[in-house]
């Protein structure tokens, strides 16, 4: 299983203080998302926004199931406010999840992007504009190119980029396409992505406990 860490990745850069993490996946991404999120510490010191391509009639069951399996809170009820550390915001079916310039969350019913609503590119690109170099982006298994352009924008804006190891992905088109487009910082299987996040982000001492 390939693990890739480019020589240009400095300890200073990997230890940067990140304000947010965005995760995107399509076909075959549920298990990687579950593995990553369930591995995170209860007091994980960063908000996470997730877009997974869903059937438009999906009723929130996936987010509820993940919430039961994770130490941190996973929610689909998106309010127009700043995301809180240690909370995962899961894009609801048939809505784009966006980050406004003031770093508040927003939902949109604009037309699909890359045949997808929610679109990974919409989340990644708006988050890159809002957070710049203080953003971490993760792209997982999928059967189309949604998210590849967005991850490149994160990288171009100075953010940190991670792609699921294509050899580990159930559907490897999306990871492979992203690697063709962007010189990413890390290529890892999901378990090691979770381990890396705990190490890179750390634990917040004063965060609200999950109830």
**Residue 77: per-residue pLDDT:** 84
**Residue 141: per-residue pLDDT:** 97
CA pair distance 171, 17, nearest whole angstrom: 32
**Residue 211: per-residue pLDDT:** 34
Find all residues with CB under 8 Å of 134, minimum gap 6, and list them: 16, 17, 18, 19, 20, 159
Name the pTM for this structure. Answer: 0.89
Find all residues with CB under 8 Å of 206, minimum gap 6, and list them: none
Cα 138–chain centre separation: 5
Could you tell me the mean pLDDT of each successive run of 10 residues in the chain, 211 residues long? 45 69 96 98 95 77 91 92 96 94 96 92 98 98 96 98 98 97 97 96 50 34
Contact 55, 93 (CB under 8 A): yes
Task: Indicate which residues carry an active-site annotation.
Answer: 26, 53, 146
Q: In the chain, where are the structural domains located?
A: 17-200
**Residue 1: per-residue pLDDT:** 37
**Residue 166: per-residue pLDDT:** 98
Closest to 24 in 3D by CA, of 124, 154, 158: 124
CA pair distance 117, 91, nearest whole angstrom: 9
Say yes or no: domain 17-200 is CATH 3.20.20.220.
no
Find all residues with CB under 8 Å of 160, minimum gap 6, and list them: 13, 14, 16, 18, 135, 136, 137, 154, 185
Helix (H, G, I), strand (E, B) or coil at 125: helix
Alpha helices (H) along the chain: 11-14, 30-38, 61-69, 120-131, 148-156, 173-181, 190-201
Q: What kind and span of H or E run contains 24?
A: strand 20-25
Contact 171, 28 (CB under 8 A): yes
């Amino acid at each position: 299983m390939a693990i890739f860490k480019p020589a240009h990745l400095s300890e200073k850069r990997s230890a940067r203080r990140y304000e947010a993490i965005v995760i995107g996946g399509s076909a075959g991404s549920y298990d990687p998302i579950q593995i990553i999120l369930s591995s995170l510490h209860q007091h994980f010191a960063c908000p996470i926004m997730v877009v997974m391509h869903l059937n438009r009639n999906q009723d929130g069951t996936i987010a509820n199931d993940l919430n039961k399996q994770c130490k941190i809170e996973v929610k689909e009820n998106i309010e127009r406010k700043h995301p809180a550390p240690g909370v995962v915001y899961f894009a609801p079916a048939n809505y784009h999840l966006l980050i406004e310039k003031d770093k508040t969350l927003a939902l949109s019913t604009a037309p699909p992007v890359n045949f997808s609503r929610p679109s990974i590119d919409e989340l990644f690109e708006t988050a890159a504009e809002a957070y710049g170099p203080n953003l971490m982006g993760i792209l997982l298994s999928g059967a189309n190119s949604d998210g590849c352009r967005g991850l490149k924008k994160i990288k171009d804006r100075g953010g940190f980029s991670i792609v699921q190891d294509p050899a580990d992905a159930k559907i490897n088109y999306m990871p492979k396409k992203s690697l063709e487009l962007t010189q990413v910082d890390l290529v890892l299987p999901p378990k090691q992505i979770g381990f890396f996040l705990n190490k890179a982000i750390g634990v917040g001492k004063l965060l609200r406990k999950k109830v």
